Structure 1
Amino acid sequence: MSESVVRARDASTVMLVRDGATGIEVFLQRRVSGMAFAAGVTVFPGGGVDAADGVADIAWSGPEPGWWAERFATDEQSAQALVAAAVRETFEECGVLLAGPTADTVVCDSTTYRDARGRLERRELSLAEFLAAEGLVLRADLLRPWSNWITPESEPRRYDTRFFVALLPQGQIADGATSEAANVAWRTPQDALASWRAGEHVLMPPTWSQLDALCGFADTAAVLAAEPAIEPIMPRYSAGTDGTPLSDFPAYDRYFAQLPQQAGFGGR
């Protein structure tokens, strides 16, 4: 790696889904305008991996770190940290807690842990400390590996992001009680994409790509049963002969053909 290229930080993003009246719905957040990264952009809950996410004493249920390491082409410690970050970020950003009092249960009312949620977001508490104090088990089996996107090398802030998918646990409510979201909504992938094409909100290529893929599933059972091949995707900035400022990601030509204001593309 060139000395001028910033090393990509590990990150986890979770596509939280549920079955709605007209098909699959996914939980989306519009980030506040003051964020250092992707300000004002519509995203899924997620964020960077913290050092504390990789501790070994987390109570765990489901596929072991070695299984996740194979799917995400990384080492076991990093894989554990990615899964832990996925659970932590989902709880911090929308109040959905993928954990339970036993290995085969999940909490029904996550608002019970409202104070701990705030402490987690302020980094006053680690996920391992929270789970241990409350006698909870991390439910890795409620997550599915989905994709891996890496920020282009020319960017000053870079992430190596693993995307997960998870079903909204029964009884829990996803909310917008986070300092990072200006507004939140459950939307079908089709509706979210149509709204983007109309210029009503901004989707960066990774989010667009995941929404586009979800359009191909009839219900959440089909999504959770899917086993997508996960290959690292790192878009590349280039003038190119086709006029697209960014390439090397699936269906990039279709993304730019549908982008409402290509001249204002803010990926850089």
Structure 2
Amino acid sequence: MSESAVAARDASTVMLVRDGVAGIEVFLQRRVTGMAFAAGVTVFPGGGVDATDGIADIAWSGPEPAWWAERFATDEQTAQALVAAAVRETFEECGVLLAGPTADSVVDDSTIYRESRGKLERRELSLADFLAAEGLVLRADLLRPWSNWITPEAEPRRYDTRFFVAVLPQGQIADGATTEAAHVAWQTPQDALASWRVGEHVLMPPTWSQLDALCGFADTAAVLAGERDITPIMPVYSPGAEGRPLSNFPDNERYFAELPQQSALRGR
């Protein structure tokens, strides 16, 4: 990292998927225009890791932090915080709770925790305290590691984001009841990419890349069974590079070839 670059904050993003009539569907949010980062763009639920996400006494079911640390090439404490942040952010941003009363169950109606959801979003409550108060176990086994993207060094606000994938638990409903989303929708990856190509919404390269990868799976079972080679990807930002300011990410030529000319965030 160059001396002038801002340190990248750890973050977690979750691709929430389900099986639909036309194939896999993924839950997408269009961020409100007033956000400090990625305003107005279409993303998956997620956000930065909080200090309390790494608390050691979280009730936990599934692969231990050491397993996640190996997949994401980090230490165990950071790995635990990343998984906890993935669960917390998914609950905060779309009301889907990857936790249950026992190690092999998951809540079927997360709306009963609406008040706690608001407190979590306002940082009045930690995930560990919420789970303990409700007698819930974090279901790390419902998540799968997917990819790792790092914001270019030239950016003033940077994230080291680990992408996860999870299937929508039976009985739960993903909603748009968050201050960060102006619009939410379930779409097939193919439809989301098609609408982006005609300028109906904005996709930054990391989101575009994950949607493109999801197009290669027939159903959610195949997604969960897939083995991912997770190598950190940090695009390089070169302002004034003939309309292609970003490079050094997979299929970057195809991204810019398909990018609608009227995009307000060309490549950023």
**TM-score band (shorter)?**
over 0.9
The change in CA–CA distance for 1:233 and 1:116 in structure 2 (over 3 A counts) is: same
Paired position in structure 2 for 1:122: 122
CA contact (8 A) 2:176 2:183 kept: yes
Are residues 1:254 and 2:257 paired? no
Amino acid at match of 2:52: A
CA contact (8 A) 1:256 1:262 kept: no
**Gapped runs of 5+ residues in structure 2?**
none
1:113-144 CA deviation, whole Å, 9 max, x = no partner? Answer: 00000000000000000000000000000000
- TM-score, normalized by length of structure 1? 0.97
Kept after mapping to 2: 8 A contact 1:90/1:96: yes
Deviations 1:51-78 (A, max 9, x none): 0000000000000000000000000000
Give the aligned partner of residue 81 of structure 1.
Answer: 81
Distance in 1 of aligned mates of 2:3 and 2:267? 22
SS of the counterpart of 1:229? coil
Contact 1:18 1:220 (8 Å CA) reproduced: yes
Q: Residue 150 of structure 1 contacts residue 160 of structure 1 at CA under 8 Å; is this kept in 2?
A: yes
Instruction: Give the total of aligned pairs.
Output: 268
Q: CA RMSD in A?
A: 1.4
- 1:4-42 per-residue CA deviation (whole Å, 9 max, x = no partner) reads 100000000000000000000000000000000000000
The answer on 1:194 being equivalent to 2:200 is no
1:141 pairs with 2:113: no
Q: Which amino acid aligns with 1:19?
A: D
In the alignment, structure 1 residue 44 sits paired with structure 2 residue 41: no
Match in the other structure for 2:92: 92
Which residue number corresponds to residue 68 of structure 1?
A: 68
Q: Which runs of 5+ in 1 are unaligned?
A: none
SS across alignment from 1:190:
helix
Q: Distance in 1 between matches of 2:180 and 2:146?
A: 24
Q: Report what 1:230 is aligned to.
A: 230
Work out the percentage of aligned pairs sharing the same amino acid.
85
Q: Distance in 2 between matches of 1:264 and 1:178?
A: 24
CA distance in 1, matches of 2:244, 2:182: 30
- Aligned-pair CA distance for 1:266: 4.5
Note the C-alpha offset of 1:86.
Answer: 0.0
CA distance in 2 between counterparts of 1:217 and 1:247 reads 26
Output the CA distance in 2 between the equivalents of 1:108 and 1:244.
45
- SS of the equivalent of 1:91 reads helix
State the alpha-carbon separation in 2 of the partners of residues 235 and 113 from structure 1.
39
Structure 1 position 262, deviation (Å): 6.7
Q: Structure 1 residues 85 and 33, CA, compared in 2 at 3 Å: closer, same or farther? A: same
SS of residue matched to 2:130:
helix
